[in-house]
A and B are shown apart, each in its own frame.
Chain A
């Protein structure tokens, strides 16, 4: 199995439970929107998001097989964001990794001169990712009783 040749797990930097993810995705969506409006060319958040997403996956040099380090909540949030922003259906984990890899590559490679329809698709992905991550975090938070038994 190719899995044996992949490196050990790295620290996860792309997590639906991290409140910074929804904000980063929001910043990326704003940057892409500004680019579409010819209001600006800054793409720092877009590239940072692409890098984080890419770092959550790994590709085997020998077989090209990819695997993801994503946890279950992030798989859930990412699947939703990809499904909402792209015509591609995600029906398996392999589909998700393939689409996410493509999305990460596109985000990293975004340029002010990129094709407008591609920019719109990425903007849409960033927006849904931000919304879904925030909403997932809130739904988890809501499971906690109002006055939890804490110490």
Chain B
């Protein structure tokens, strides 16, 4: 057997496994469509390897094998993700309303795969270039019964909006490059210390390219956070704080603003969008340390941060209308009030209109320990009761929508 056959067999095994997964009991077609899209990409690698023989130049064969390996490496975790989307642990009640919201924001072609994940990070997968129409949303398994974290889905929709609307082209590469190169000019001595070169040759652009990527990714994450605020109002801020406060990572990520800065950006977005938010979690967030102080990494990150700081106001403004349409539903205080009345009576909310109203009401109950104080039999487990009521309310919303009983729903 030729080493080339090992590579071919790896790809064949992957495709065989993918084929087995098709037999799973998928509650929604979107998961099956994701399998088809992945198969199409991996099939191109299979075809490429099939066309090679031992007569081909060895480095060419090796490179094609490396490409196929990189593809399998990237897509195998996705197969697991898609399989887990069939697990009954998932809150299937939220699928319909979330997909409608996704389609409202991103277009009718958008497909959603919703799964519970064995990682605390709520949304594991960045949008995948090869699967541009898919939103892959993973919620931590231990929180899969907590509907109040659904607003974090707004962040993931933001990633797809960023890509679909080519928001990146507003900043990349021109503005980011200019800001970072201007900062290098200001800090020539630091640059020369870390790169042992003058700050005015071709290589400065190459040297600082990680800072440019960092700035781009930080802006994307900031945009996504802002989309979360725009779509889910203050529920997003509560959900964000609830899951990650004071921070998860022991060190500062190269691709995210610090947790403290993220929250500050969220509050700035809330101010801009007219979202009322009185709770101040800010002092609860800590700024993660950069891995090694006084390092090249820290220098690059500081260059990125300076560019990000200059561009965040523009990003907040762009996220205000993520769908490029004016009618993405906003929180309706009257509907929230109406939903609160239902929840107080331990019945699911009806005629809530859209997800954000139910979730805003849910968060208000969560944050008010006295909410059921005046009822004859207060629930023993207030939070579990609330989660159940919110999920039922979402189910009612879905039924109302399917039956077409509401004039102004998300789709």
Q: In the bound complex, what is the Cα–Cα distance between A83 and B325 (angstroms)?
A: 47
**CB of B164 closer than 8 Å to a CB of A:** no
Interface 1/0 per residue, A5-36 and B, CB below 8 Å? 00001011000011110110011011001101
Q: Is residue B76 within 8 Å, beta carbon to beta carbon, of the partner chain?
A: no
Decide if B288 touches A149 in the complex (CB within 8 Å): yes
Q: Are B55 and A39 in contact (CB under 8 A)?
A: yes
Q: Which of B52, B55, B152, B212 contacts A30 (CB 8 A)?
A: B52
| B56 at interface, CB cutoff 8 A | yes
Contact with A along B37-78 (1 / 0, CB 8 A): 000000011001001110111011001101100110010000
User: Do A33 and B166 have beta carbons less than 8 Å apart?
Assistant: no
Cβ contacts under 8 Å, B208 to chain A: 72
Shortest C-beta distance, B253 to chain A (Å), equals 5
- Which residues of A lie under 8 Å from residue B152 when comparing CB positions? 151
Q: Does A123 contact B (CB under 8 A)?
A: yes
A75 to B288, CA, bound (A): 31
A63 → B minimal CB distance (Å): 21
CA distance A70 to B209 in the complex (A): 12
Report if A134-B66 is in contact (Cβ < 8 Å); known contacts: A79-B202, A145-B253.
yes
- 20 further A-B pairs in the complex, CB-CB below 8 A; given A26-B48, A145-B250: A11-B166, A19-B74, A19-B129, A23-B71, A26-B64, A29-B60, A29-B64, A70-B173, A73-B209, A76-B206, A90-B202, A91-B201, A91-B202, A92-B202, A123-B60, A134-B67, A144-B254, A148-B249, A150-B256, A151-B225
What residues on B are CB-neighbors of A134 within 8 Å?
66-67, 70
**Chain B residues with Cβ under 8 A from A30's Cβ?**
48, 51-52, 56, 60, 64
Residue numbers in A under 8 Å from B395 (CB-CB): none
Residues of B within 8 Å of A34, CB to CB, are: 51, 56
Interface pairs (6), CB distance under 8 Å = A29-B60, A72-B205, A95-B202, A143-B210, A147-B249, A149-B249
A144 and B57 form a contact (CB under 8 A): no
Set of chain A residues within 8 Å of B177, measured between Cβ atoms: 71-72
Contact B212 A37 (CB under 8 A): no
Say whether B124 faces chain A, with CB atoms less than 8 Å apart.
yes
Question: Are the CB atoms of B56 and A71 closer together than 8 Å?
Answer: no
In the bound complex, do residue A151 and residue B64 qualify as a contact, i.e. CB atoms below 8 Å apart? no
Find B209's partner among A39, A72, A91, A131 (CB 8 Å cutoff).
A72
**Shortest distance in angstroms between A149's beta carbon and chain B's nearest beta carbon?**
4
| Across-interface contacts of A93 in B (CB, < 8 A) | 202, 205
Asked whether any CB of chain A lies closer than 8 Å to the CB of B110, the reply is no
| Nearest CB of chain A from residue B259's CB, rounded to whole Å | 6
For residue A127, CB closer than 8 A to chain B, the reply is yes
By the criterion CB–CB under 8 Å, are B253 and A144 in contact? yes
Interchain CA distance A29-B249 in the complex, whole Å: 41
Q: How far is the CA of A121 from the CA of B281 in the complex (A)?
A: 59
Interface residue B123 (Cβ < 8 Å from any Cβ of A): yes
Q: Which residue of B lies closest to A70 (CB)?
A: B173
* CA gap between A12 and B172 in the complex, in Å: 9
Q: Please tell me which one of the listed residues B63, B71, B206 contacts residue A29 in the complex, with CB atoms under 8 A apart.
A: B63
Instruction: Tell whether A4 is near chain B: CB-to-CB under 8 Å.
Output: no
